[in-house]
Structures are given as C-alpha cells and as structure tokens.
Amino acid sequence: MIEAYRLVDKLEREHSLSLSEYKLLIESENEALRTYVSNKAKTVATSIYANFIYVRGLIEVGNYCRNDCLYCGIRKSNTNCDRYILDEEDILNCCKEGYDLGFRTFVLQGGEGIYKKDFVTSIVQKIHVLYPDCAITLSLGEEDKETYKEWFDAGANRYLLRHETASKGHYEKLHPENMSFEHRMQCLRDLKNIGYQVGCGFMVGSPYQTSETLAMDLKFIETFKPDMCGIGPFISQKDTPFRDMKSGTLNQTLFLLSLIRLIQPNILLPATTALGTIDSKGREKGILAGANVVMPNLSPVSVRKKYALYDNKICTGEESAECKNCLSNRMRSIGYEIVTDRGDIKK
C-alpha cells in the first residue's frame, strides 16, 4: 500500500511510470488513495488553469455510421436507431446560438463517414470565416491523411479521436474484424503530424478491460502526449451486443482522471457527459479530481435523444436546451468559473 503512495509521488515528480507500476497503482485504488491522488491532481490543474473551466459547444451532427463498434448505440447494424443528419443550415444555426452564448470552440461530432469530404471542407471554411475567433474541432472518425489535411487547411484546429484502448487484443474484442487497431493509431499520428491539436481517450470499465490494458492506456498517453484526453465510463446500451455488460464506475473514472492530470499537467481533460450520466454530480466530481473542460450539448433539442451512444444519457430532454447555464451554475457551486475563451492548451 505504501508502495502505491510512493508511486503517486513519483508520478507527480517525473510524469512517468513503468507499465507494471501503472498496473500496481490501478490495482491499489481505494478511497484513501483516490483522495490522495485527487488532491494532487486538483492542485496541479489549478496551478496551470486557475479555477477556469473551458467549454466546448458539442454539436452532434448525425448518427449515421459505417462502423459497428460492439459498445456503441449508433452502430450501423442497430435497426432501432432513429437516424438523422444535420445539414449546413442546421450546423450554422447551432454555431450562431453557441457564439451568442459565449462558446469559442465548436465540436462537430458524429458517426464515421457521415459526410462527404467536400461537405466537411466547406462547412469548416464557412464556420472559420463567420467566427474567426473560434476554434473548430472535428470528431468524425477515421479518414486518410489527405482528408485530414484538407480539413485542417480549411480551418479545423483540433481533432478528437479516442484510441478506445491501447491494447490490440482488447481493441479486437470491442470492434468487428474489419476495424483495425493499427489504422486508428495511425490516424492519431497523422493528425498530430498535420498540426492538429489532438485528443485521444478511452472508456473506463469497457468490457474485457483489465488493469493491464488500462496501464497500457496510461503509458500511451504518457508517450503520445495528446493535447486532450476524453475518458468516461462505459455505459451499456440496450440495442448493442454489450447490452448486458457491467458499466464502468464513477470512482475508477475519477481515479484515472487524476492520474492522467499527473502524467501530463497541462492536458485538456473533460469531465464528460457519460460521467454526468452515471452520477448526478459526476462532472463536478470530475473537475474536483483534476478535469478542466466541459462539453455542453449544442445540438438541436429535437435530435438529442437520437444520438444515443449509451442508455440514459443526460441533457436530452426539452428542459435542457440551455446546457451552458446549467453547467455554469454547477461549476460555480464548486468554486469554478466557465470562461468565454477558445481554451487552447497552455504550453
């Protein structure tokens, strides 16, 4: 046990541990250790970002998808998924509303292969011209390097592509045969080489995850050095092959958020919607464990229920049109302030 505390101190000092040390830490998680690492992570985060929380306006552009990830509610073979796709006017309306609310980052996220390359290029160009002071983040899955480059040249600044797991064996248990671990990792390297600020990430408690695969995730973050890292609990979705699998836990997610903050002090770390879904105060707890970003939903209320990656997702009802105010109040309740800012990583 004392060994685990020693490892946390070492991580805080050196920002690096061996795979077996990460594994031991993950296996040693308990309330006292969580509090210990969380206090350190919170101090590190506020020493860089003060009590400021960055917001991203999340626009869920559509739920068509060419992939069949076993955990995901918008997987292609889910016939119960009510499909939708936003057009240019819808997206620009979301941006307008978001800009007026103080958002300076727009995230366009959706199923893979949802738009033709040229459509994305053109919408990125338009947003870039209309809102030159905003960052444009894409999260549209795996593409080839030329496509990523074209979107970057059009004005996209950031790309979110969770690696999902850093273990090839584990990856293959979460995805059908036609998806490739190597290709996903190659995409992340391509995005970085092009010049995007890149976000990777994974689900906590996904089926077949072990302390060993989690240790590999932490080692991957340590060596890849992403600008952002999105982690949230796996939550089962009723129309997927993983419908009966156990969901991830609040506590393990909080523990991992804190460890990631110590690995890379300046990383942009969201307290995710999935975390807010498994616990009504999950996002607040995430911030107190070292996260510094929230991503309120800017999608039209009429489509929110349809973007059902997992069951019981929050902020999908009519009453939640105004996610930003709700989150502002939540952040204020724990002594933090949402800021009107692009929210770039502090180097």
The strand pairing partners of 164, in sequence order, are 202
DSSP 64-89: --S---TT-TT-TT-TT----B--HH
From the CB of 319, what's the least distance to ligand SAH, in Å? 23
- Closer of 15 and 183 to ligand SAH (Cβ): 183
Cβ closest to ligand SAH, residue 21 vs residue 90: 90
Report whether 188 contacts 163 (CB < 8 A). Answer: yes
344 DSSP assignment: P
Toward ligand SAH, which CB reaches closer, 71 or 220?
A: 71
CB of 42 to ligand SAH, least distance (A): 24
* Shortest Å distance, C-beta 229 to ligand SAH: 12
How far apart are CB 237 and ligand SAH at their closest, in Å?
Answer: 5
Q: Closest CB to ligand SAH among 67 and 328?
A: 67
Encoded tokens for 270: 């969201």
Phi-psi region at 294: left, alpha or beta (left = phi > 0; alpha = psi -120 to 50): beta
Nearer to ligand SAH, 139 or 328 (CB): 139
The residue with tokens 């894409």 is 138
Decide whether 11 or 248 has the Cβ nearer to ligand SAH. 248
Task: Provide, rounded to whole angstroms, the least separation between the CB of residue 16 and ligand SAH.
Answer: 25
Q: How far apart are CA 268 and CA 339, in angstroms?
A: 14
| H-state helical runs in the chain | 2-14, 19-27, 31-49, 88-101, 117-130, 145-154, 168-174, 181-194, 211-224, 250-263, 273-278, 282-288, 301-304, 323-333
Tokens read off for 114: 């949802």
Residue 164 CB, nearest distance to ligand SAH (Å)?
A: 6
Question: Which amino acid would we find at residue 127?
Answer: I
Question: Please, which residue, 49 or 71, has the CB nearer to ligand SAH?
Answer: 71
Which residue from 311, 338, 303 is spatially nearest to 63, judged by alpha carbons?
A: 303
- Name the minimum Å distance from CB 318 to ligand SAH: 24
Q: What is the DSSP letter of 140?
A: -
Residue ranges that bind ligand SAH, judged by CB under 6 A: 71-72, 109, 111-112, 139, 141, 161-162, 164, 203, 232, 234-235, 237, 274, 309-310
Distance CA 333, CA 330 (A): 5
Closest approach of ligand SAH to the CB of residue 309, in Å: 4
Tokens of 173: 């248990």
Q: How many CB atoms lie within 10 A of CB 233?
A: 23
Length of the chain, in residues: 347
Q: Containing H/E element for 105?
A: strand 105-110
Nearer to ligand SAH, 234 or 336 (CB): 234
Select 139 or 292, whichever has its Cβ closest to ligand SAH: 139
Min separation Cβ 219 and ligand SAH, Å: 19
